[in-house]
Each structure stands twice: as C-alpha cells, then as structure tokens.
Amino acid sequence: MNLLKKFLILPLSFALVACTIALACWGIVHLWCLGFHQTPTRAPGTPIQWAGEHLDSDLILDSTIGWFTPIQIYIAYYQNETRPTRIVLSGPGGDRLGGWLSGLAISTLGMSALVSEGSVCASSCVNTLVTAGSYAVDPKSYLLFHAGKLNPPPFDDCQPCLFIKESPLYRTSESLQHLMLAWAGDISPKLASFINNCTRNPLNTYEGLALSGLQIAEISSETNPYTCDDIAVQDLNWLTQNGFLKPKEN
C-alpha cells in the first residue's frame, strides 16, 4: 500500500506543479494586459474601417478562442522577427473571457485586428475584435451576433477560480445577451439599436444574426436601407449553408 502511494504521489505532484505553472502563466498575461493596457478610444459614429488584403506578415487567428489564446498570440508575436502589426481574425468564437483577454493582448502589442473577405468572425471573436480597439472589416466579411452558450469555465473544480465562475461572463444567459449587445454598440450605437428593434431579437437565439461588413456600415449610417426582419434569414445556419462556416462534425 505504501509503495502504491509512492507511485501515485509523484505523478500527482507533477500534475499539481504543471497546473500551478499554467495558472501562473495565465495570471501573468492577465495582469500584464490589465496593467499595461490602455483602453482604445473609438468615438461614437466613427466610420467602419475597411480591411485591405491581408499580408504574409499578418498573424492568423482562425481557431476556437480559449483561455490560453492570448498566450498563443504573445508567443506568435515574439517568434516573428518582423513584429507583425496586424492579426487576421475568423472562426466560431469560443470562451468569453479568453476572447476579451485576446483583444487586450492584441491591443497591448500594438496590433490592429481585421476580418478579411469571405471570413466570419462569430460570437466571442467579435469580443476580441472590438476589444482590440483598432480594427477593420471587409465589406464581404461577416460578424455573427447571437445568444451564445453557457459553457462552464475551465478548471471547473478549481476552488481559487470561484471568482471567475461567479463573474457576469459566466453567470446567466441574460448577461451573455448584454455583452453581445455591448459589443455591437462598441461598433456603432445604431447597430445595437437595430438589433434591439428586431421582431425576434437574435440575441435570444443561438442562430443569431450575421451581418456583412457592408451591411454594418450601412446600418450605422444616416440612411440605413434595412430593417432587421429584412435580413433575419442571415443566421448561423445560413452562414453554414452558404459555405462561410464549416458544419460541425458529429
């Protein structure tokens, strides 16, 4: 029995040390972002910036966003000798806190974010985009606004992480809708108002509403040609059916 304990204690100790190091790394990035980040100011009514063709030197973030995505951004940035000034965003979104921290990391590194032609920046990817502060979208790209899912945060059994589990980022579906509406409002107050005036609010549904860069610019203008109901068909399923997003594998 004592021998069994010895064999168990060693790998468990290594696992504990590894988890501690991982949490410490995440905490360092978190504090670095919060300590050195200056929230970019973007005046209400600022015209949507159009994204040009992305360059070979641009970083690419096209995967699901997680807690360690900001660390990956830092690593990719410092591994690149040219020190990229832009990062191309696309993908299905992911963790809400990870999306926020990723945006802070992009801003802290002095990069701007862009969504290129034919790409989709969905859910928490929009969080990363607007938190980056300096961003641009292609007229033929799409942003998806929807209710999201209430997935539990990582390290679900981690007692020190209770403050994260109890944060508004993870608490209720209503808080998710509020966050998504705030992200839309960061792009344009008129965009947030447009979404709120839908007969069926897309932020109450997982399918949501997908808007192209051109549509967002037009909705944000003084001569908005749309009503929300006109383009309500543009949802998550529509993006998948038209080849903008890959269908999920079973």
Residue 230 in domain = yes
Which residue range forms the structural domain that includes residue 214?
49-241
Element (H, E) at 60: strand 59-61
Distance CA 250, CA 57 (A): 35
Residue 23 in domain = no
Which residues, in sequence order, are CB contacts of 219 under 8 Å at separation 6+? 188, 190, 191, 194, 211, 226
pLDDT band at 196 (very low <50, low <70, confident <90, very high): confident
Does residue 39 register a pLDDT over 90? no
Residue 29 in domain = no
Residue 9 in domain = no
Distance CA 164, CA 153 (A): 8
Residue 189 in domain = yes
Residue-level pLDDT at 219: 92
Residue-level pLDDT at 14: 59
Residue 35 in domain = no
Three-class DSSP category at 61: strand
pTM of the model: 0.73
Does residue 69 register a pLDDT over 60? yes
Assigned token pair, 99: 């999306």
Domain with residue 87: its CATH number is: 3.90.226
Q: How many domains does the chain divide into? A: 1
pLDDT digits (tens, 9 = 90+) for 115-124: 988 899 998 8
Does residue 125 register a pLDDT over 90? yes
Averaging pLDDT over each range in 23-27, 129-133, 176-180, which range is the top one?
129-133
Which residues, in sequence order, are CB contacts of 136 under 8 Å at separation 6+? 48, 49, 50, 51, 52, 112, 113, 114, 115
Does residue 152 register a pLDDT over 80? no
Residue 100 in domain = yes
Residue 18 in domain = no
Distance CA 49, CA 114 (A): 9
12, 25, 131, 92: CA torsion to nearest 10: -40
